[in-house]
Every structure is written in C-alpha cells, then in structure tokens.
Amino acid sequence: MNWVSHTKAQQIKRWAKDLGFLDCGISKADFLESESGHLENWLNQGFHGKMSYMENHFDKRLDPRILVPGAKSVVSLLYNYFPEKVQPNELPRISKYAYGEDYHIVVKDKLNLLWSKLKEEWGDIEGRSFVDSAPVLEKAWAKKAGLGWQGKNGNIIQKKTGSFFFLAEMIIDVELTEDFPTSDHCGNCNKCIEACPTDAIVAPAVVDGSRCISYFTIELKEAISADLKGQWNDWVFGCDICQDVCPWNRFSKPHQDPRLSYRSERLDRTWQQWRDTTEEEFKKLTKGSALERPKWSGFMKNLSHFD
C-alpha cells in the first residue's frame, strides 16, 4: 500500500464530512470501459429524447483524463437533500431536490471550500470540480467509488441513507487510494418499475429519459403529447415517485443545510395561485432556485397538462 496516497484519501474524506458531505469515495481516473457500451446503446435507442447535449463529448464522458489533463483520481461525493417537511399531496408537486436554493450553487460552494482546503494542505494541485454541470458520468463514478449500487430506477442507492442525495465530483492530479464497488441490494424488488406512471424504467437500471416525468416538466420545450394526459400524478416540476416507493429510502434522514430548506412561498402555492402567477412574479418566486430552469413559459406549459 502507498501510505501517502492512503493518508491523503483519508484526509479528503474527513474534510468532506466536516463540510457536510454525506459520503466520499475515490476512483482511479481511467477509461470507463464498462460504461462505453451502455452509453452507446442508450443513445442509439433514443432514450435521451430531445436532450441532444447527451450526444456530445462522448469520449470525455468515458475518460476524465481528456476532460482534465493529468488527472489521476476522481473523488465522488454525496450531498443529502432529503427534507424534513414534504409538500401536502393536494398541491402541484415539486421534486424534493428543488425545495430550496439551486443545488448547483449550494453544492458547488461546498466543493470550493473543499478545494481551498486541499490547496492549503497539499500545495500546488490541479483539477476541476463538477455538480451536474459537465460531461461526467456521475453515477458510474459514484458506483465505482463504492458509494452505492445503481438501483433499478437508475439512481445510486446506499443501504443506510437511501438515494435522496446530489452527486458531485472532483477530478484531480493527485494519486489517492481507490475504493471498490459495493454489491447490489435491490434483489427481487420491482416497486420503482411498477410505480412509474409513464413506464419510463424499461429494464433494471435503464431509464428511457424521453418518457420520464422529469424530462417532460424540465427538459422538453415542445408541446406534450396528449396520450400522456393523466399520467403525471400532479407533478409539475421533476418527479420523486421511483424514489418515494424505494424501500431503502425509509432510512433517509433530513438534511441539515438551511439553504435547501422548504420554501413555503413556492411550495404551498395552490393550483390556482400558480396559474394566476405572472411572468414577473414567477421570476421573483423562483430566483436562485432550480425552478428557474423551465422559465415561466415552461412551467405554465406543465400546468396546462392538467387542464
């Protein structure tokens, strides 16, 4: 064992925990050979729908050394977003990850603090950090780093904490002792597959993104097909169904970050209140949150699905 690499790996895990990250795992920055065929097949079957950006940077998605020259380690991190309070069922449903401030900003601020700590302690190092913002196969790296297994709903799942967490990465030019994948614990359970109202989970761990409610309510800019009417279960932004039914999420514990906390001014709005919201009001209500993504026009399109 290389004790320098081992010591540094333990240090970064400790610092990550001190900053509030749920967990941290490490992989060698190398070509993701096992994912190459999966990604190609997923794209060939059109499961990315209108998300054409998924076709870009194929090589970078599979090899972090192309994305970050000189990379030696991929540090995968989890950041809990499971809320203490959830929306009442009768209201327009918004995915739990969007309850508070935009997670891109919240988690990136944490990553910046961790990066500063690494520079302070380790000196001149190079690398980049990401939160769902670059051609990085986050789930593949989290799985490789032993942070959980990829469930039948496609999400990374941990036995002790479930799956309500954000994924983030630091790709750095420091050699660290790598972790190893854990085993799959979905067993014969098919609750997520059976619960998906649009049949988006076409096989274990294979999600047809073009049929996912999150895709329709966030990514799709075009009109929604009439044949999907009545299949959304009141979701107007994102969807948590496949996570809500997962037995492992009974172990989820509320996060401790006030920046991700429940915002009643958005989350307690009724159907009519949202329908009466002007574009200017919408901008004020959603400023600094993930709800900015579809813009007022997209959100109104989502609401019209229920008319």
* Under-50 pLDDT residues of the chain: none
The pLDDT assigned to 273 comes to: 97
- Beta-carbon count within 10 A of 135 CB: 17
Residue with tokens 């196969």: 137
Helices (H), the chain: 3-18, 33-44, 58-62, 64-67, 103-122, 138-144, 191-195, 213-214, 241-244, 264-267, 271-275, 279-286, 295-304
Length of the chain: 307
| DSSP, res 80 | E
* Tens digit of each residue's pLDDT (9 = 90 or more) over 27-43: 999 998 888 777 778 77
Number of domains in the chain: 1
Q: At what angle do helices 279-286 and 295-304 cross, to 10 degrees?
A: 100
Residue 279 to residue 48: CA distance in whole angstroms:
29
Structural contact between residues 133 and 293, judged by C-beta atoms closer than 8 angstroms: no
The pLDDT assigned to 49 comes to: 67
Rounded to two decimals, what is the model's pTM? 0.95
Which of 109, 132, 244, 257 is catalytic? The answer is 132
Tell me which amino acid residue 171 is.
I
Could you list the residue range(s) of the whole structural domain that residue 303 is in?
Answer: 1-182+189-307
Specify whether 59 is catalytic: no
The pLDDT assigned to 73 comes to: 98
The pLDDT assigned to 25 comes to: 98
SS3 82: coil
Tokens at 1, concatenated: 């064992």
